[in-house]
Amino acid sequence: MRPVENVMMRDSAAEMLPAAADPKHRILKDVFGFDGFRPGQLVAIEALLDKRHVLAVMPTGAGKSLCYQVPALILGGLTIVVSPLVALMQDQVSALRLAGVAADTINSSLPREANVAAWRRVASGETRLLYLAPERLMTERMLDALRRLPVRLIAVDEAHCISQWGPAFRTDYEDLSRLRTVFPGVPIIALTATADETTRGDISQRLFAGQVETLVLGFDRPNIRLAVEARQDGPRQLLDFIRRHEGRSGIVYCLSRKKTEETAALLQRHGVPALAYHAGMDKDARDTNQNSFMTESGVVMVATIAFGMGIDKPDVAFVFHTDLPGSLEAYYQEIGRAGRDGRSSEACMVFGLGDIRMRRQFIDGEDASAEHKRRSHGRLDTLIGFCETAQCRRQILLNYFGESAMPCGNCDNCLDQEPRSDGAAEARLVLAAIAETGERFGPGYIVDVLRGHETQKLVERGHQTLASFGSGKARRNSEWHSLIRQLIAGGFLVLDIAGYGGLFIAEKGRALGRGDLAFLYRPEPPRPTSRNKTRMRDSGAAEGGDSALLAALKATRLRLARERQVPAFVVFSARTLIDMAERCPRTLLAFSEVNGVGAAKLKDLGKIFLDTIEAHFASKSE
């Protein structure tokens, strides 16, 4: 195994150049219908073919699945894909089968006869990719059976769950660490759209014992405008936001199933074509709503986080959070479903004290270790700091994932130039308290020092004698906590999430302490200003209406999806339909050049869509 590498991937023109004689490019074109690899894909594929383990952190929409699907077809034998959601597994299997790839899933939602038939295909060597949930894979019976088969590759999708779910309520995710010993010599790829440095470290140690090549693509999505508002009148704020995007597709995320249904009903009463989606709904109802969202223009999906994984709809114009997400990683992943067509889009979140209280109750109620709960509280504090900050939100977000950026000019804080409070004096009090206590303690302890609270732990250490003790009596506890969160979000302080939750001073903080840097902060949670709303309203791009041809192609896709009982995007993605409408192919040869049309779909679906195109032009000539 090679030494661990950490490669920050950037766009590479070389990865887009086809090589007809190369099996990787031949499979990409013949099976999946694409002319070239996206950034990062080829690097991951070549590492797996060289039998090296890979951790790939790639943004939503970057094409993670091809990183293991292409080598699976080159290596032959069986590839095992571990996935957290039954619906996601079934959609991916359906998409692969339409592309002519022998794929199967065995899961609890299928009747026993279907699972038995799937296993027979696996055991006979017919199946190339087998999708399993971790709970089914990590049973001794399944592992013993798979040991006897030619397993060539293992892919762990949504790998951040190893760090964030395993210790809490899906312990089989943690058990995936056994895979490297159960299947020695088999390359493993872990894939996720979002993982901070701590989460990447968790995955690396638990799944790979540190021996893995980590590929990290850039996290920046500059076409998504970021905004956060304090909740004042949540329903009114949502309706005002939706009106700015009238006629465009979007996603509204809610914390609970009940709120999801209530919010969808609210939007419907105000004339918005809104649908609900959550795990408690009947599967047929969920599938119907998902198909409508994927195929129709201007539909707003109101959903819990059950909606999103594997969804590829490029024209999502906005994401609105009615409640605080669980972490910055979750926030980043959820807003990443907007603007995947590269057009201007917007992500807005409203939050209040009730959100923070509820999130803390969720964490405390988890069946998890004290260390895991402490990390979760630390991540929540970082997210709250992001909400409260007066600095460029994109800078804060990218800094969290280890990237640097200039002020973006495309978030509410950059667009709203109202003066902020100079917090340099208060910040230096915080820095002094952290330095005098040895850069070992968390925010709560530092606030106790500043406020002059003679707690038992503080007195035992003699910290009531420090110069900084009581220096911040003039401010409330909540004010100091908010200021510390903003210092963390701004990169002046570092919260040791992976360690014991202590604060230490970053180089930027030391420069602030010397007076070389300023610190502007927001004393109160952010509130929208009329000027900010106007600027964001004026700069939003309006969605153009669909052409008659594109509408006809979508109708054909929906009909086929219903006939085959699969989600519409499994038939063809929205990108493929858009390319089809632009190219207007009239022959099978021309149809084969459409982006996303492989050999199997050309044979199976080509004539059907060509007939739709012919009918469209015939109607125009009448």
Q: CA 132, 134, 136: angle at the middle one, nearest 5?
A: 65
Look at residue 530 and tell me whether its pLDDT is greater than 70: no
Query: What is the average pLDDT across 127-150?
Result: 94
Residue 189's H or E segment, with its range, is strand 188-192
Of the pLDDT bands very low, low, confident and very high (cuts 50, 70, 90), residue 394 is very high
Of the pLDDT bands very low, low, confident and very high (cuts 50, 70, 90), residue 547 is low
pLDDT in the model for residue 85:
76
pLDDT in the model for residue 527:
40
Residue tagged 């979140």 (tokens): 349
Same-domain status, 131 and 64? yes
- Locate 99 and state its tokens: 């592309």
Is residue 93 within 8 A of residue 564, CB to CB? The reply is no
Residue 620's H or E segment, with its range, is helix 599-621
Domain boundary among 521, 539, 566: 521
Is 539 domain-assigned? no
CB proximity list for 1: less than 8 A, separation 6 or greater: 52, 53, 211
CATH number at residue 230: 3.40.50.300
Is 528 domain-assigned? no
User: In whole numbers, what is the pLDDT of the chain averaged over residues?
Assistant: 84
Closest CA to 140 of 105, 182, 111, 107: 182
Look at residue 1 and tell me whether its pLDDT is greater than 60: no
pLDDT in the model for residue 82:
94
Beta-ladder partners of 503: 495
How many Å from the N-terminal Cα to the C-terminal Cα in the chain?
A: 67
Same-domain status, 114 and 50? yes
Same-domain status, 266 and 390? yes
Q: How many domains does the chain have?
A: 4
Query: What is the average pLDDT across 365-376?
Result: 80
Q: Is 244 exposed, middle or buried (0-12, 13-18, 19+ CB in 10 A)?
A: middle
Look at residue 17 and tell me whether its pLDDT is greater than 60: no
pLDDT in the model for residue 21:
56
Look at residue 382 and tell me whether its pLDDT is greater than 60: yes
Taking the C-alpha atoms of residue 388 and residue 391, their distance in angstroms, rounded to an integer, is 9
Same-domain status, 124 and 265? no
Of the pLDDT bands very low, low, confident and very high (cuts 50, 70, 90), residue 12 is very low
Same-domain status, 161 and 267? no
What is the percentage of the chain residues whose pLDDT exceeds 90?
40
pLDDT in the model for residue 89:
85
Taking the C-alpha atoms of residue 142 and residue 123, their distance in angstroms, rounded to an integer, is 12
Is residue 423 within 8 A of residue 524, CB to CB? The reply is no
| pLDDT digit string, tens, across residues 309-340 | 656 677 899 999 999 998 888 899 899 889 88
Query: What is the average pLDDT across 605-615?
Result: 92
Is residue 238 within 8 A of residue 252, CB to CB? The reply is yes
Same-domain status, 72 and 158? yes
Domain boundary among 173, 188, 217: 217
Taking the C-alpha atoms of residue 93 and residue 600, their distance in angstroms, rounded to an integer, is 14
**Residue 191 φ/ψ region, left for φ over 0, alpha for ψ in the -120 to 50 degree band, beta for the rest:** beta
Closest CA to 487 of 461, 442, 520: 520
Of the pLDDT bands very low, low, confident and very high (cuts 50, 70, 90), residue 499 is low
Of the pLDDT bands very low, low, confident and very high (cuts 50, 70, 90), residue 385 is confident
CB proximity list for 397: less than 8 A, separation 6 or greater: 219, 226, 328, 332, 386
Is 14 domain-assigned? yes
Taking the C-alpha atoms of residue 507 and residue 407, their distance in angstroms, rounded to an integer, is 19
Domain boundary among 389, 415, 441: 415
Q: Which amino acid is at 157?
A: D
Residue of 198 and 152 predicted with greater confidence: 152
Of the pLDDT bands very low, low, confident and very high (cuts 50, 70, 90), residue 159 is confident
Parallel, antiparallel or unpaired: strands 213-217 and 78-82 = unpaired
- Locate 241 and state its tokens: 């936001």
Is 540 domain-assigned? no
Taking the C-alpha atoms of residue 573 and residue 579, their distance in angstroms, rounded to an integer, is 10
**Residue 584 φ/ψ region, left for φ over 0, alpha for ψ in the -120 to 50 degree band, beta for the rest:** left
Of the pLDDT bands very low, low, confident and very high (cuts 50, 70, 90), residue 167 is very low
Look at residue 528 and tell me whether its pLDDT is greater than 90: no
| pLDDT digit string, tens, across residues 31-76 | 999 988 988 899 999 999 999 999 998 877 678 899 999 999 999 9
Is 473 domain-assigned? yes
Q: By residue range, what is the domain housing residue 569?
A: 548-621
Of the pLDDT bands very low, low, confident and very high (cuts 50, 70, 90), residue 11 is very low
CB proximity list for 438: less than 8 A, separation 6 or greater: none
Is 531 domain-assigned? no
The number of beta carbons lying within 10 Å of the beta carbon of residue 245 is 23
CATH number at residue 510: 1.10.10.10
Query: What is the average pLDDT across 538-567?
Result: 71
Is 532 domain-assigned? no
**Residue 497 φ/ψ region, left for φ over 0, alpha for ψ in the -120 to 50 degree band, beta for the rest:** alpha
Same-domain status, 70 and 174? yes
Taking the C-alpha atoms of residue 299 and residue 257, their distance in angstroms, rounded to an integer, is 19
Sign of CA dihedral 291, 159, 326, 133: positive
Same-domain status, 237 and 192? no
Is 177 domain-assigned? yes
φ, ψ dihedrals at 302, nearest 5° = -105, 120
Same-domain status, 116 and 172? yes
Same-domain status, 232 and 206? no
Taking the C-alpha atoms of residue 165 and residue 160, their distance in angstroms, rounded to an integer, is 8
Same-domain status, 437 and 382? no
Same-domain status, 314 and 175? no
CATH number at residue 581: 1.10.150.80
Look at residue 364 and tell me whether its pLDDT is greater than 80: yes
| CA atoms within a 13 Å half-sphere pointing along the CA-CB vector of 491 | 20
| pLDDT digit string, tens, across residues 404-452 | 788 888 998 888 755 578 888 899 999 999 999 999 898 889 999 999 9
Is residue 234 within 8 A of residue 349, CB to CB? The reply is no
**H-type alpha helices, 165-296:** 171-175, 179-182, 197-208, 234-244, 257-269, 283-295
Of the pLDDT bands very low, low, confident and very high (cuts 50, 70, 90), residue 154 is very high
| pLDDT digit string, tens, across residues 240-298 | 999 999 999 999 999 889 999 999 999 999 999 999 999 889 888 988 888 888 888 89
